Amino acid sequence: MVYLAAGLAELGYEVTIAALRLVRLDLTPLQDAGVRVLVFGAEGPVAKLRKLPLLIRLARRADVVGASLFDATLWGRLAAIAARRPAVIIEHTPGRELATSRRGKSRARWVALHNRLLDPFTHTVVAVARWQVPILLREGVAERKVRVIPNGVAVDELRRQAATGVSRADLGIPDDAKLLVHVARFMPQKNQPMTLEVVRRLRADLGDVHVIFAGAGDLLPDVQAQAESMGAREWAHFLGRRRDVPRLLHLADVFVLPSFAEAMPVAILEALAVGVPVVATDVADVRPILELTGGGIAIPPGDTDAFEQACRRLLTERQLHERLAGAAVHGARRHYDHRRMVGNYASVLDAAAGD
């Protein structure tokens, strides 16, 4: 969303982001680009319903209403309908089975129903990954309304950021150690425990191998406890939520993401842009990304042995590492630069505003 909003603003669009609950991201790039950000702090459906009149007023001042993620796609479309403005929805689902309430109850049927009922009032539904398209069609989204626009990242800016900031010494990691980096929220689908186990195995015969975990989430204490039980205090580094992820990636020998489910993971694109070979599971559009760029190895989900072997190869086979690192940068710039993504969204928004 940051890349998209800032990119549209640079093209001359007037962009306002209305966050229903809160914003965890660094807003500096948006503010620098002239993007207006409103944070409603609305917890629960009643609070969000009370914000609907404000959303409607914002929609009336816009040419197009965009919404990303459920349940913003519900409230955003209701506002668009009331304001008689076209709605463009962005689908990021990693799988409807993962759509749950804070109490852990499934929301899959409710998400599907809201897509079915509101599709007649929706101009375009953007899928960020091709594998999402069948899900949308099963939920009643008209095929003619679906447009696939892969996520993109600011390759040159990421590479600039990667060159400055924290060092290995700052983090207590020896310069000659082998280093894996795992950037993700701590939630079951991101599978940080597998990364811990693989690093433990690698250390048995490769020597000083370390891992950085960047991110926060409900499962962070559990993974930290697992690391403690392994005696990993010296080699597993939990950094929490960070604003210097490009620099952390630049320090790495390998970026890992052994997820059970994904949509179109921006973290992989950022690693490729920085020039870090990737080992990730073959879920969603991950394999197509790695094959198109040539920057990484896809492994079967849940296969710890394959994950270990792929990491081992990249840590020990220098020519393979250098080949994938070079391909990663070239492939990210060619296929996933944010300007390509922003241009595709601009065409969708222009078409919606013109209808």
What is the pLDDT at residue 283?
96
CB count within 10 Å of CB 126 equals 20
What is the pLDDT at residue 55?
97
What is the pLDDT at residue 23?
86
What is the pLDDT at residue 245?
96
Q: Please state the φ and ψ torsions of residue 244, each to the nearest 5 degrees.
A: -120, 40
Please tell me the distance from the alpha carbon of residue 26 to that of residue 1, in angstroms, as a whole number. 12
- In this model, does residue 213 exceed pLDDT 90? yes
Which CATH fold would you assign to the domain 155-335?
A: Rossmann fold (3.40.50)
Window from 96-105, 149-158, 186-195, 246-255 with minimum mean pLDDT: 96-105
CA angle, 88 then 91 then 94, to 5°: 175
Q: Please state the φ and ψ torsions of residue 78, each to the nearest 5 degrees.
A: -60, -40
Mean pLDDT of 91-100: 88
What tokens were used for 253?
Answer: 């020998």
- In this model, does residue 103 exceed pLDDT 80? no
Q: Would you tell me the crossing angle of helices 318-335 and 304-316 to the nearest 10 degrees?
A: 100
Mean pLDDT of 249-257: 98
What is the pLDDT confidence band of residue 290, given thresholds at 50, 70 and 90? very high
Tell me the pLDDT tens digit for each residue of 10-43: 999 999 999 999 888 888 889 899 999 999 999 8
Please tell me the distance from the alpha carbon of residue 169 to that of residue 208, in angstroms, as a whole number. 15
- In this model, does residue 153 exceed pLDDT 90? yes
Point out which residues pair with 90 in neighbouring strands.
68, 126
- In this model, does residue 267 exceed pLDDT 80? yes
Please tell me the distance from the alpha carbon of residue 305 to that of residue 267, in angstroms, as a whole number. 23
Mean pLDDT of the chain, nearest integer: 95
Mean pLDDT of 91-118: 88
What tokens were used for 8?
Answer: 């549209």
CATH 3.40.50.2000 matches 2-152+338-354: yes
CB count within 10 Å of CB 321 equals 17
Percent of the chain with pLDDT over 90: 90
Transcribe 2-53 into DSSP letters: HHHHHHHHHTT---EEEESS---S--HHHHHHT-EEEE----HHHHHHHHHH
- In this model, does residue 104 exceed pLDDT 90? no
- In this model, does residue 177 exceed pLDDT 90? yes
Is-same-fold flag (2-152+338-354; 155-335)?
Answer: yes
For the chain, what are the domain ranges? 2-152+338-354, 155-335
Cα dist from 313 to 202, 256, 317, 320, whole Å: 11, 13, 5, 8
CA nearest neighbour of 45 among 99, 7, 101, 104:
101
CA nearest neighbour of 24 among 168, 217, 196, 206:
217
CA nearest neighbour of 10 among 351, 335, 342, 341:
342
Tell me the pLDDT tens digit for each residue of 302-352: 999 999 999 999 999 999 999 999 999 999 999 999 999 999 999 999 999
Point out which residues pair with 296 in neighbouring strands.
278
